[in-house]
Structures are given as C-alpha cells and as structure tokens.
Amino acid sequence: MTDLQARLRADLLAARKARDTTATSVLRSTLSAIANAEALPVAEEGLSADGPIAGAASGVGATEAARRDLTDDDVRAVISGEQTERLAAATALDSHGAAEKATQLRAEADLLAAYL
C-alpha cells in the first residue's frame, strides 16, 4: 500500500466518524477504483475442462490472485481519472439543467484535487 492509499484510507475513516457523507462516498469510490487498478487480468492458464465445472481452477491457492503493486504516481493517475469523470459528468449535467447535481460533482472533484 502506498502512502497516498494510506492517507485516503485514514481520511475515509475520519470522514465516516464525522458523518461526512459526501467525502465518505468519494473516498470509497476512489479506493474501489484503486483496488480495481491493482487487479491483474484473468489468465486462461490453469483452467481445464476436467472436473465438475468446466473452466474452474482447482488446487491449493487456485482462488488466490496476485495484485499489482501500484506506485504513488499510479494511484494519482487513478484519482485524476476519477476527478476527470466527475468534471465531465458535471458539464453534461449543466447542459441538461441539473445544476444542483453538477455543483455536487464539482465539489467531489475539488475534494479529489487535494490528493493530486
């Protein structure tokens, strides 16, 4: 876990204790995006048609999957992507007359800017 991930997790805990629903939601979704970035693609190796379920992995540790180790730069890239998505969605919502939701998304993007 990088220092930035640890900071995000600590800030999530603080937001939950403070009952800050906006920060809690943003930090949870960002940490989920980071966890998704750590996942490796599923390899077809080790899967067989033998056994009760075709294509199922078997053996000791077959269900364990290695995770990628992200650097702080990788984590910042994920956070930047999350911020960009929110800003793009806010722009789209403005054009559709949903200014209140767009304002909320911009506030979420501002919260993420503190980690970049």
Q: How far apart are CA 97 and CA 39, in angstroms?
A: 38
Helix 21-38, helix 72-95: angle, nearest 10: 130
Per-residue pLDDT averaged across 30-49, rounded? Answer: 76
pLDDT at residue 36 above 90? yes
Q: Tell me what pLDDT residue 31 has.
A: 97
> Mean pLDDT for the chain?
87
pLDDT at 98: 94
Q: What is the pTM of this model?
A: 0.79
Query: What is the model's pLDDT at position 22?
Result: 94
Residue 45 has pLDDT above 80, yes or no: no
CATH number 1.10.1510 given to 1-37+69-116: yes
- Closest by CA to 39, choosing from 59, 56, 61, 64, is 64
Q: How many residues does the chain have?
A: 116
Look at residue 23 and tell me whether its pLDDT is greater than 90.
yes
DSSP symbols for the chain: --HHHHHHHHHHHHHHHTT-HHHHHHHHHHHHHHHHHHBPPPP-TT--S-SSSTT---STTTT---B----HHHHHHHHHHHHHHHHHHHHHHHHTT-HHHHHHHHHHHHHHHTT-
- As a whole number, mean pLDDT of residues 70-95 equals 96
